[in-house]
């Protein structure tokens, strides 16, 4: 997979998978930190999965299979301590 910082400071992770039966899958995750204050940060997130072939036994269709959108608000007490509250729509 590939992970890095895209233009405009988007954190992006793209991962590819190959199955034993020739099925291909890709997962895209993206997020962006919106600094409301120096310690209060809003993070919108997106995650999507796509498959080359349908897998009815797993309940997965071919193409774009699912989309997950989320918002997370965190408060950074220290760099390593940041409690958060979040909401995810799937």
User: pLDDT tens across 25-59, in order?
Assistant: 999 999 999 999 999 999 999 999 999 888 778 77
Query: Domain total for the chain?
Result: 1
The size of the chain, in residues, is: 90
**pLDDT at res. 68:** 96
Give the alpha-carbon dihedral of 6, 14, 83, 36, to 10 degrees.
20
Q: How far is CA 62 from CA 48, 70, 84, in A?
A: 13, 24, 35
- How confident is the model over 11-29, as pLDDT tens digits? 999 999 998 888 899 999 9
Q: Which domain holds residue 46?
A: 2-89
Dihedral Cα 72, 77, 82, 88, nearest 10 deg: -20
Cα separations in angstroms, 90 against 14, 23, 39: 19, 23, 28
Nearest to 68 by CA among 31, 25, 41: 31
DSSP class of residue 8 equals G
Q: What is the pTM of this model?
A: 0.82
């Amino acid at each position: 997979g590939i992970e890095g910082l895209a233009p405009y400071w988007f954190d992006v992770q793209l991962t590819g998978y190959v199955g034993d039966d020739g099925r291909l899958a890709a997962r895209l995750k993206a997020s962006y930190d919106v600094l409301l204050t120096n310690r209060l940060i809003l993070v919108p997130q997106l995650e999507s999965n796509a498959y080359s072939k349908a897998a009815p036994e797993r309940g997965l269709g071919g193409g774009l299979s699912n989309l997950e959108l989320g918002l997370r608000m965190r408060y950074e007490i220290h760099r390593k301590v940041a409690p958060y509250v979040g909401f995810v729509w799937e």
